[in-house]
Chain A
Amino acid sequence: MSRQRSILLAVVLALIAIAIGIWLSYTIHWFPPEASVQAHNTDRLYHVLVIATIPIFVLVVTVILYSVWQFRMKPGEELKDGPPIHGNTRLEVIWTALPAILLLGMVGYSFVVLYENEKRPAREIDIGVTGQQFVWTYQYPPSVTGGAPINSYKLYLPEGESVDFSMRSKDVIHAFWIPAFRLQEDVVPGIVTHWRATPDRLGSYPVVCNLLCGVGHSLMRSTAHVVPEAQFRAWIKSQETTASTGAVGGNASGGASG
């Protein structure tokens, strides 16, 4: 097989591999359910990244396999050397500049997604999150309840409403992560951290502590219930009665000392 024909074959196989890779990236069930506006953006970013990087990986593997196929030492070549090629400035400029452009493009797009995900909406509700070894509690301030603040082990969120979580820790660092929202941030003693999400899919989703916080870390889980606005109001009502009897100690402004 001539050099041209073998290269052509390799290129065709590489293109097929790229197509299969991209097809697989859409068929494989990568993520938990997309339950927030931010999750749609982040998943789209992921797919763009995968599609942009599959050709690079295929290129590297193709060159390796092609070299192994075409350039491996044949019997009788034990003492043969390859051609003394020391470099090629044009090629080196290309493989410095092109990846740089591609990378800056990707990181630029990621900033767009970041801005979209984090921008403050016109209206949002505030919910406090307190992490302590090894439970989560949630604080609903008067601005949300319309009455007395509520402190609960349960996290209920109204569908379609942007929520800003204000997170405090009573002891060590935790991380408040809702995989279905694709969002998390550490909960750090001494400071208040935030993230915001707009849940847009009804259902119950795991809340996971995602930073090692001691022996009970792997069991520090909770559930986020995304419910229709009316049901959210009804739940708040039902809590107000239990809250007054002090179901969970602490108060709505968060138990952590600042």
Chain B
Amino acid sequence: MVAKFRAPGFYRASWTMVLGLAFAIAVTWLVRNFTGHATYAHYLNEDAVLTVALFSVPLAFLAGIGGFDYWFYWATGRPTRPEDHSGHGAHSWKDYFRINTDHKVIGIQYTVTSFFFLLVGGLIGMLMRAQLAQPGAQFVDANTYNGLFSVHASLLIFLFVIPVFAGLGNYVIPIMIGAPDMAFPRLNALSYWLLPIAGVMMLSSFLVPGGAFADGWTAYTPLATDAPLGQTFFSVAVQFAGASSIMTALNFLVTIITMRAPGMSFFRLPLLVWANFATSLLVVIATPFIAASQFFVLLDRALQFNFFNAGKGGDVLMYQHVFWFYSHPAVYIMMLPGFGIVSEIIAVKSRKPIFGYRMMAFSLLAIVGLGFTVWAHHMFTSGMAAWIRIPMAITTAIIAVPTGIKIFSWLATLWRGVLHLDTPMLFALGFLTTFTLGGISGVMLAMIPFDIHVSATYFIVAHIHYVLFGGSLMTIFAGVYYWFPKMTGRMYDERLGKWHFWSTFIFFNLTFGPMHVLGLQGMPRRVATYAAKFADLNLFISIASFALGLSTLIFVYNMVTSWRGGPHSVANPWRGMTLEWLVPSPPPIFNFDRVPTVVGGPYEYGVPGAVHGILAPAPSTVGAGSSMVRAPSP
């Protein structure tokens, strides 16, 4: 029994978390005592204790489940445990609930956790639509409603779209490049376990006095600096989610650069790998900015630093610049991996090479570069210096060019192909149409006079849902169906998949299409009630959104039943060429029993006798771009 409490796991975490809380109490008591708070006759202040505890308890939890064990052992000079690969593979469902260094286990942990938060975030969205079905108060008061849309957006951005792509990438990328695992397996495990912490923190903010953070996911100051305690939960949760994405991005970069199989030059990489490479560059450069913005807010809140207090010389607009310097690139962080998924699926399902492979790769890099030059288009009406609008409008229009190149190249890939219209392909084609609409409304928003009218209205709500739901989520569904046989070794139900696609596609458009009109007509976003003239459209949208929510149940049912009892899948059900289809479904613990060698491009469909990779050791003469395939690193 004692051993249970000493070994890494939830038992040990239960007492380390108590220690973490004790630490928070002790530190705040000491600091407040020695800095004069004694005069207030309360050494203990629950806001102060909670602010520190939001850091110390999660870190104690990570220490408890063993996230830092290896590094503690190494740092203290104790013998580190010999790598016996016991951390690899999952033999029962319990293995998904502990620190596990296998990228395939982590990929599934990431994906399932993210989908859990999709369902929670979606339910919150339906609550919002229930409130908005009629003008006037319906179910919740204004403060709770503000909390609902803030948590809805934060969960779906930080706990769903960003990490689910990291999850799919985690599973697929090492296999696609012919590596046995990620470059840093322990860092990979740690980055996963930061996620549920961030999610639980955001959700638990509903329980604190004053309610959940209610200033939108943008948390503009000075509203956020003066907000009740719930806001601190947002600021700290973003630190954990952000740290998680930076760790994963670094891991992807190093893995892709150093662990490619012999013969896998950069221009033989599947476009999904290119997309995650580009995304990871965005993440490592941009994410520190949102971390900084939220640390500023924390310091303002907890210690009166007055960064954003105009009355004390603070600069209110500075927050928005720092925030959007991350949060605009974040839009591409949430889209580029989806571009990668769609490239894989459209090539395989059209039975044709991807059209203009190099332009597809270069346009990703162009988006990375341009993505850092457009942030202030979120601030056209913010009161910033007027001239900044002009260059930002030009770059915002220009960034549509590389995106357009990708859309036209996908269309050209379809042309004269042999289209297999199964569920992943339907989602990919659905993505093409809805994302094009979202792109077009985005271009319109670059036009300053028009943006001045619709900024912060339901037109914006429509636009971002066309981009993130019609765009990202469609690609995520496509990717999950596409790799489901590889990840689980079983086939999903094709008929249910098609039902899921059509219900999602139709009700998505019925839900978010009319929001464009609402915005143009003058309905602001983030309101708990609205003028009576908007009532009819809002009721229509609410009904459509409930149907959209229900359509997700088809997906959940299909995934759960197929995973438990679907027919077994062969190694390569789609006749794909990329390396993940050369290994069994699911793949063996170290992915490849023999070292693969890459001998050609990834999409040579229709080329007689073309092969992308072979499961054989590299001949010693293989040159350019190849690197050592290492033994699984400890």
Q: Mark A41-59, 1 if CB is under 8 A from B, else 0.
A: 1100110010001001100
Flag if B400 contacts A103 (CB, 8 Å). yes
Complexed CA–CA distance, A221 and B534 (Å): 15
Pick the contact of B446: A84, A85, A107, A177 (CB < 8 A).
A107
Pick the contact of B351: A67, A80, A88, A114 (CB < 8 A).
A80
Pick the contact of B449: A41, A67, A185, A193 (CB < 8 A).
A41
Q: Is B634 an interface residue (CB 8 A)?
A: no
Chain-B contact segment, one of A24-32, A154-162, A226-234: A24-32
Looking at the assembled complex, report how far the CB atom of B494 sits from the nearest CB atom of chain A, in whole angstroms: 14
Complexed CA–CA distance, A248 and B216 (Å): 32
Flag if A82 contacts B416 (CB, 8 Å). yes
For residue A224, which residues in chain B have a CB less than 8 angstroms away from its CB? none
Chain-A contact segment, one of B1-9, B28-36, B261-269, B524-532: B524-532
Flag if A91 contacts B412 (CB, 8 Å). yes
Looking at the assembled complex, report how far the CB atom of A213 sits from the nearest CB atom of chain B, in whole angstroms: 7
Pick the contact of B530: A57, A182, A218 (CB < 8 A).
A218
| Dominant secondary structure at the A interface | mixed
Looking at the assembled complex, report how far the CB atom of A27 sits from the nearest CB atom of chain B, in whole angstroms: 13
For residue A171, which residues in chain B have a CB less than 8 angstroms away from its CB? 222
Complexed CA–CA distance, A127 and B621 (Å): 79
Pick the contact of A87: B214, B359, B456 (CB < 8 A).
B359
For residue A81, which residues in chain B have a CB less than 8 angstroms away from its CB? 351-352, 418, 605-606
Complexed CA–CA distance, A185 and B386 (Å): 11
Number of A-B contacts (CB under 8 A): 256
Which of the listed residues B222, B314, B383, B437 has the most CB atoms from chain A within 10 Å of its own CB?
B383
Flag if A173 contacts B453 (CB, 8 Å). no
Q: How many chain A residues touch the partner (CB < 8 A)? A: 82
Flag if A60 contacts B436 (CB, 8 Å). yes
Pick the contact of A190: B316, B421, B455, B520 (CB < 8 A).
B316
A206-249 contacts to B, CB under 8 A, are 206, 208-219, 221
Pick the contact of B310: A45, A53, A64, A189 (CB < 8 A).
A189
Q: Is B47 an interface residue (CB 8 A)?
A: no
Known: A84-B353, A106-B397. A30 touches B521 (CB 8 A): yes
For residue B416, which residues in chain A have a CB less than 8 angstroms away from its CB? 71, 82-83, 85
For residue B142, which residues in chain A have a CB less than 8 angstroms away from its CB? 215-218
Q: Is A203 an interface residue (CB 8 A)?
A: no
Flag if B527 contacts A64 (CB, 8 Å). no
Complexed CA–CA distance, A31 and B533 (Å): 13
**Nearest B residue to A189 by beta-carbon distance?**
B310
For residue A57, which residues in chain B have a CB less than 8 angstroms away from its CB? 436-437, 440
Q: Is A2 an interface residue (CB 8 A)?
A: no
For residue A200, which residues in chain B have a CB less than 8 angstroms away from its CB? none
For residue B437, which residues in chain A have a CB less than 8 angstroms away from its CB? 57
Complexed CA–CA distance, A73 and B352 (Å): 13
Pick the contact of A208: B408, B444, B524 (CB < 8 A).
B524
**Nearest A residue to B311 by beta-carbon distance?**
A257
Pick the contact of A63: B414, B421, B526, B605 (CB < 8 A).
B414
For residue A218, which residues in chain B have a CB less than 8 angstroms away from its CB? 142, 524, 526-530
Q: Is B495 an interface residue (CB 8 A)?
A: no
Known: A30-B521, A49-B447, A184-B455. A68 touches B440 (CB 8 A): no
**Nearest B residue to A62 by beta-carbon distance?**
B411
Pick the contact of B447: A28, A79, A84, A107 (CB < 8 A).
A107
Looking at the assembled complex, report how far the CB atom of B366 sits from the nearest CB atom of chain A, in whole angstroms: 10
Pick the contact of B352: A56, A61, A85, A217 (CB < 8 A).
A85
Pick the contact of A188: B317, B415, B421 (CB < 8 A).
B317
A169-208 contacts to B, CB under 8 A, are 171-173, 175, 177, 179-180, 182-191, 193, 206, 208
Looking at the assembled complex, report how far the CB atom of B537 sits from the nearest CB atom of chain A, in whole angstroms: 12
Complexed CA–CA distance, A63 and B143 (Å): 47
Flag if A60 contacts B407 (CB, 8 Å). yes
Known: A57-B437, A84-B606, A87-B355. A219 touches B529 (CB 8 A): yes
Flag if A179 contacts B521 (CB, 8 Å). yes
Complexed CA–CA distance, A60 and B440 (Å): 12
Complexed CA–CA distance, A72 and B490 (Å): 26
Pick the contact of B220: A63, A71, A183, A211 (CB < 8 A).
A211
Pick the contact of B607: A84, A188, A193, A210 (CB < 8 A).
A84
For residue A45, which residues in chain B have a CB less than 8 angstroms away from its CB? 447, 449-450
Complexed CA–CA distance, A216 and B452 (Å): 23
Flag if B381 contacts A175 (CB, 8 Å). yes
Q: Is A100 an interface residue (CB 8 A)?
A: yes
Which of the listed residues A179, A182, A212 has the most CB atoms from chain B within 10 Å of its own CB?
A212
Q: Mark B384-415, 1 if CB is under 8 A from A, else 0.
A: 00100110011001101100110111011011
For residue B417, which residues in chain A have a CB less than 8 angstroms away from its CB? 67, 71, 82
Pick the contact of B223: A172, A175, A184, A210 (CB < 8 A).
A172
Flag if B421 contacts A99 (CB, 8 Å). no
Q: Is B578 an interface residue (CB 8 A)?
A: no
Complexed CA–CA distance, A208 and B433 (Å): 34
Q: Is B44 an interface residue (CB 8 A)?
A: no
For residue A46, which residues in chain B have a CB less than 8 angstroms away from its CB? 444, 450, 520
Complexed CA–CA distance, A43 and B160 (Å): 37
The 5 closest A-B pairs by CB, nearest first: A190-B310, A179-B522, A218-B527, A110-B447, A81-B606
- Contacts A56-B436, A60-B407 known; 11 new A-B pairs at CB < 8 A: A30-B521, A46-B520, A73-B418, A110-B393, A111-B390, A114-B389, A172-B220, A182-B452, A190-B316, A212-B146, A212-B215
Q: List 30 A-B contacts (CB under 8 A).
A: A30-B517, A30-B520, A42-B452, A49-B444, A53-B440, A57-B440, A60-B407, A61-B433, A67-B414, A72-B421, A73-B421, A84-B353, A84-B605, A84-B606, A85-B416, A86-B355, A87-B355, A91-B412, A106-B447, A110-B446, A118-B386, A172-B226, A175-B455, A183-B452, A188-B383, A191-B310, A210-B455, A214-B223, A217-B527, A218-B529
Instruction: List chain A positions with a Cβ less than 8 A from chain B.
Output: 28, 30-32, 38, 41-42, 45-46, 49, 53, 56-57, 60-61, 63-64, 67-68, 71-73, 77, 79-88, 91-92, 95-96, 99-100, 103-104, 106-107, 110-111, 113-114, 117-118, 171-173, 175, 177, 179-180, 182-191, 193, 206, 208-219, 221, 257
